[in-house]
Amino acid sequence: MKMPGTLTLKVAIGSLFKGFSQVILQANTATGILFFAAIVIAGIEAQKPELILYSLVGAVLSPTLAYAMNYAEDEIKNGIWGYNAILYSIALSVFTPVSVQNVILLITGNVGIVVLTPLLAKCLGGLPVLTMPFIMMTWLACLLANVPSTVSSVETSELFLHPVDYITACINNYMEIFLLSSFAGGALVMLGLALSDRIILIITMLVSVLSVFLSQYDEHVTLNQVVNGLYGYNVILTSVAVVLFGKGNLKVNVITGVWCVAFTLISGMVLSPLFSYWSLPLLTFPFVLSTWIYLFVQKNLNMYKTIC
């Protein structure tokens, strides 16, 4: 459908920051500004300014291409065409050094996301693509750039997690959604969620605390992984999806939602060593897989109730 060309500068800026907020399934400009500020802080702390630049490239390039290809204007305004590109661009700066090849992968990957997303949506038969385009393009980039394996030695976290580690891990879980680790950045992400949806913030805080507590019983996770948020970020995303996509009976939603969050945690534990062996980052795949299963179950439960 041909768009009428009503994207003013104000709307374009709002779309840009909503792209950042959509990383956690929100469509709020103020939230997006805080999320971007969190990325800036994490980039400065990591002494990697390219993180900031790359995230902006993804936030601008992908929606611009979507606009040029006459994609739905409402989707562009709400940041739908920004979040996968933002995550991909950050991932590229995290996993590969700055180089000519890196820049080529940045541009071609953003183009690939814009082209791949509608094709993937058709294949999914009504399920949302979520962050799968980002995952697929990042895996492809890692294979092309020969990113080394991330297999690490086993270290039981139960003996090392002190109270300060729990607090740090719970907050870093939020920042790791953006593939980064920063206590201050994580706090800004939490603040951004508070501006957008306080209920979601409260639920994700409970899930974050629970994931850190359960990490003690996973013999294959290291202290650094837990403290840096690598253990809990997927369950936060899943809990947000459960709240936003839950329909029908509240009791059924709670039961299926709890199962979905638990499955996210378990699938992450199972898949992480396998993906590391293949030299591929796990990224948000457990969140995507769990949410798809949750939505499939929801759809079939609703169909069953309709028949009955």
pLDDT confidence of residue 84:
98
pLDDT confidence of residue 302:
62
Sign of CA dihedral 250, 252, 253, 258: positive
pLDDT confidence of residue 2:
40
Q: Do 115 and 123 form a contact (C-beta atoms < 8 A)? A: no
The terminus-to-terminus CA distance of the chain in angstroms comes to 39
Using a pLDDT cut of 70, give the percent of the chain over it. Answer: 91
Q: Which residues contact 104 (CB under 8 A, 6 or more apart)?
A: none
Residue from 155, 180, 186 nearest 283 by CA:
180
Report residue 19 as tokens: 């792209």
Q: 127 pLDDT exceeds 90?
A: yes
pLDDT interval class at 81 (50, 70, 90): very high
For the segment 8-22, the average pLDDT, to the nearest whole number, is: 94
Q: Which residues contact 67 (CB under 8 A, 6 or more apart)?
A: 3, 7, 73, 76
pTM for the predicted model, two decimal places: 0.93
